[in-house]
Structure 1
Amino acid sequence: MKSAPRWPLHPAPKEGEALSSWLNRVAACYQMDVHELLAHDLGHSQLDDLDTAPSLSLLTALCQRSGVELERLRSMSLAGWVPWLLDSLDDSVPAALETYTFQCAVLLPKRTRKVRSITRWRAWLPSQTIRRACPQCLNDPTNQAVLLVWQLPLMLSCPQHGCWLESYWGMHGRYLQWEIADAAPRPADDAIACMDRRTWQALTTGFVELPRRRVHAGLWFRLLRTLLDELNTPLSHCGSCSASIRHVWERCGHPLRAGQSLWRPYEILAPAVQWQMLEAAATAITLIESKALIPRGEQAALFQTEPHTGFTNGLPAKVPKPEPINHWQRAAQAIDEAIIEARHNPETARLLFTLASYGRRDPESLERLRATFTKEGIPPEFLSHYEPEWPFAGLRLNDGLSDSF
């Protein structure tokens, strides 16, 4: 059977681009919309599943038409992110929430968390359509790729440009215009930018570099989802950790639990509430890493650097032999220090002169000694009228020449 001919025009997919976005850009090359491209060229009329779970037959046809690898095309939909981002696209899997969200603990110890159980749940898939994008990524009208992650309540900022994602009007995989026209890009703060860079690293590389060690992308997404649930826990269920939860919300400047009075899973919250929850999660991570917050969860250690600990090779430690004491060297050093002090202290000068005059009784020897002291910088007036009566005159055995000598 003859394979389908290649499209003569087909722009390459961008990293992280949604399948619907790429097909919109391909269709635009032929002045068509996506429905016309798929229905008339590929015989596929279903558009709702493009970014969720496109059929294998469609992906195979797209591979033949474009030359893009089948696995690359699959990764442009949520089905390609299973099981890293979410365990399954089947929302009827039993205990899905408990398995995904309650296996880890960051802020709260496991014993204090109330395990929730709901039916028909999938991690990160919102109940309301989200259309947000980076204003700088879409500033080129001829190259407006909409990323798949922008459809999820998973990031607040663009990891490349560091600005907030903004809401736009559009359709499936296609940007039309911003909700707030002519709005300048808003820079995200460091906590949000850091968290979103890690999320992007997880999506594009399969791992995340945390302060303690590198972790798998699947663990990062579950840690983040756990943290969001902990921040939405009623204080009455937090026990002694309630102060930590309250502190995080106060630091990020939003109402406690983003104003929620009843617990509901993160995915069905209103988008504005989800953004506040994500901002609180970024704040909590920063507080943990800066040691401004003491978390009680087992996995919180991943956000802290490895403590410095001593180690041994198991062999007896070699104790170095003490070096022999050079008493003459110490004596010479003490004399040098005494000479320095004698240049400014008459009392020290006289005591040093008494020591040096030991065994010298004749006037000529004492005069030569005075000349030597003068050469060493000791003022002659300190000794001009000083005559020791005998060696060490006036000294007792427990006296010192001075405080320093």
Structure 2
Amino acid sequence: MTPADAPAARTALDHSAHPPWPLHPQPLPGETLMSWLARTTALYSLINTADLLDGLGVDTSGVDLDRYTREPVLTALAQRGGSTAERLREMTLAGYTPWLLDSTDPSECDFDTYVHQFSVLLPPGLAMADRRRRTPAAGTWLPWVSKLDTRACPLCIDALDTDADIAVMMAHQYPMLTSCTKHLCRLEFCAVIPGRLVFWDRTPAGSDEHAPPIPVPAVVAEIDRRTAAAMTSGSVELVAGRVQAAVWFRLLRTVVDEVSTPLVRTGWWAKPLSAIWKSTGCSRPLRTSWVPFEQLPWDEQANVLFAAATAIIAVENDEITASGADACLLRPRRYEPVDPGTPPTGSRSPVPTRSAWDGVIAAIDAAVAAARVDSDAARSLFGFARTGCRTEEDVDELAYAFVELGIRLDWD
């Protein structure tokens, strides 16, 4: 580094040079980074966020900050906005790695690994040629990332206080979620000026009000609920148990690909696939044969997700035959009786083995106890024991033993 380069390096790396903005609203839960920056920009009556970012010492031109923001930029923004780099990273797509996707760099995302590592409806090796037709060129694909269009829930916007800021929600901008999990209505396309206004695409001509919200089927609402839980809590509760968010997103993407398979490629399994699409009332978009889900128009994506949601719920309810290796994740665990084992005893010591001598010893103890207090019992016991004596010395030793036991032999 030359001396001339030193000032520029300090500008880019020394974040103490970035004092807090006098006005900086706090990020809202689930908000995108660009939405927060736009709300901040509005406080200063600036034209665009580029004016706000001027002076950070890093080049942000041509960069989608909602997808990936470099660490120097995050650090500078955190200091300017009174937040932390970790909090701001969560407002970008990069904050959802590796749960939602492996990387925000398409060259590091492998289509086959992400989409086909599971199998649910179809056997793992079925229709491989058809799957290759949908495989995008290397380095051009990110899972669940489509052409960015802003979506929002009209009922959520209507429920805001008049002085509340309008924000763009991160989860609403990607096609794995089609509805508002609070109001169970479809997310609507719109143009948002964060903090100020919303212009709805479905506003009737000559009207200031948007069209009535569109309710979503119950199966779509349930799958969207799980997807939202995966994004916020990192796990999903399935009938077979809890799975990590990364498993859920890849499992859902697998079913999306399976319901996109042409029936002529599936053989016997065409019957359950046909039943799935028939129950939705929608026709399978023809372009799903050669175009990955992320490149479909939004309305076709919604139909495919409807079919995938229908399939998942049908598998869980045992309404269709699922032949994939991982269909077990959507089924209740089978009841397996457990051997109750041997009931515990009062003592941890092993129970001693009883023998015939136990009764003999008890009888001797009882005879000795009786001989101590009864002269007849003493004489009888002494006479019985004397039968084993061969000499006078043996008799004397026996008499001494009786005395030691507390048995009198001088009874009157």
> What pairs with 1:276-291 in structure 2 (closer than 5 Å)?
276-291=303-318
Question: 1:37 and 2:52 equivalent?
Answer: yes
Equivalent-residue separation in structure 1 for 2:175 and 2:183 (angstroms): 19
Q: Is the 8 A contact 2:39 2:194 kept in 1?
A: no
Residue 87 to residue 236, structure 1, CA distance change in 2 (3 Å): same
- Aligned partner of 1:125 in structure 2 is 145
Equivalent-residue separation in structure 2 for 1:68 and 1:175 (angstroms): 25
Residue 60 to residue 97, structure 1, CA distance change in 2 (3 Å): same
Q: Is the 8 A contact 1:130 1:150 kept in 2?
A: no
Tell me which stretches of 4 or more aligned residues in structure 1 moved more than 4 Å: 40-45, 170-175
> What pairs with 1:297-376 in structure 2 (closer than 5 Å)?
297-315=324-342
Equivalent-residue separation in structure 2 for 1:129 and 1:273 (angstroms): 16
How big is each residue's C-alpha offset from its partner over 1:84-112, in whole Å with a ceiling of 9 and x where there is no partner?
11112222247x01100110011111021
- Aligned partner of 1:357 in structure 2 is none
Q: Compute the displacement of 1:188 (Å).
A: 2.1
Q: Is the 8 A contact 1:137 1:144 kept in 2?
A: no
Q: Is the 8 A contact 1:17 1:148 kept in 2?
A: yes
> What pairs with 1:4-403 in structure 2 (closer than 5 Å)?
4-32=18-46, 33-39=48-54, 44-46=59-61, 48-93=63-108, 96-114=110-128, 115-116=131-132, 117-118=135-136, 119-120=138-139, 121-126=141-146, 128-139=147-158, 140=160, 142-170=164-192, 176-181=198-203, 182-255=210-283, 257-260=284-287, 262-315=289-342
Equivalent-residue separation in structure 2 for 1:89 and 1:73 (angstroms): 16
Q: Is the 8 A contact 1:21 1:174 kept in 2?
A: no
How big is each residue's C-alpha offset from its partner over 1:219-239, in whole Å with a ceiling of 9 and x where there is no partner?
100001101000111112212
Residue 260 to residue 41, structure 1, CA distance change in 2 (3 Å): closer
- Which residues of structure 1 form unaligned runs of 5+? 317-405
Equivalent-residue separation in structure 2 for 1:285 and 1:302 (angstroms): 10
Residue 176 to residue 289, structure 1, CA distance change in 2 (3 Å): same
* TM-score, L = length of structure 2: 0.71
Residue 56 to residue 104, structure 1, CA distance change in 2 (3 Å): same
Equivalent-residue separation in structure 1 for 2:197 and 2:35 (angstroms): 9
Q: Compute the displacement of 1:134 (Å).
A: 1.0
Deviates more, 1:258-267 or 1:272-281: 258-267
AA aligned to 1:177 is F
**What SS is found at the alignment partner of 2:102?**
coil
* TM-score, L = length of structure 1: 0.72
Residue 48 to residue 183, structure 1, CA distance change in 2 (3 Å): farther
**What SS is found at the alignment partner of 1:177?**
strand
Q: Compute the displacement of 1:249 (Å).
A: 0.5
Equivalent-residue separation in structure 2 for 1:104 and 1:175 (angstroms): 43
AA aligned to 2:156 is C
How big is each residue's C-alpha offset from its partner over 1:376-398, in whole Å with a ceiling of 9 and x where there is no partner?
xxxxxxxxxxxxxxxxxxxxxxx
Equivalent-residue separation in structure 2 for 1:161 and 1:9 (angstroms): 33
How big is each residue's C-alpha offset from its partner over 1:191-244, in whole Å with a ceiling of 9 and x where there is no partner?
111111111111111111111111010010000110100011111221211111
How big is each residue's C-alpha offset from its partner over 1:361-390, in whole Å with a ceiling of 9 and x where there is no partner?
xxxxxxxxxxxxxxxxxxxxxxxxxxxxxx
Residue 147 to residue 240, structure 1, CA distance change in 2 (3 Å): same
Residue 152 to residue 309, structure 1, CA distance change in 2 (3 Å): same
AA aligned to 2:322 is P
AA aligned to 1:111 is G
Q: Compute the displacement of 1:310 (Å).
A: 1.6
Deviates more, 1:224-233 or 1:149-158: 149-158
Q: Compute the displacement of 1:260 (Å).
A: 3.3
How big is each residue's C-alpha offset from its partner over 1:324-370, in whole Å with a ceiling of 9 and x where there is no partner?
xxxxxxxxxxxxxxxxxxxxxxxxxxxxxxxxxxxxxxxxxxxxxxx
Residue 42 to residue 8, structure 1, CA distance change in 2 (3 Å): farther
Q: Is the 8 A contact 2:32 2:66 kept in 1?
A: yes
Q: Is the 8 A contact 2:33 2:91 kept in 1?
A: yes
- Aligned partner of 2:369 in structure 1 is none
**What SS is found at the alignment partner of 2:24?**
coil
Q: Is the 8 A contact 2:28 2:167 kept in 1?
A: yes
Equivalent-residue separation in structure 2 for 1:89 and 1:171 (angstroms): 26
Equivalent-residue separation in structure 2 for 1:170 and 1:143 (angstroms): 11
Equivalent-residue separation in structure 1 for 2:23 and 2:217 (angstroms): 40
Q: Compute the displacement of 1:300 (Å).
A: 1.7
Residue 132 to residue 51, structure 1, CA distance change in 2 (3 Å): same
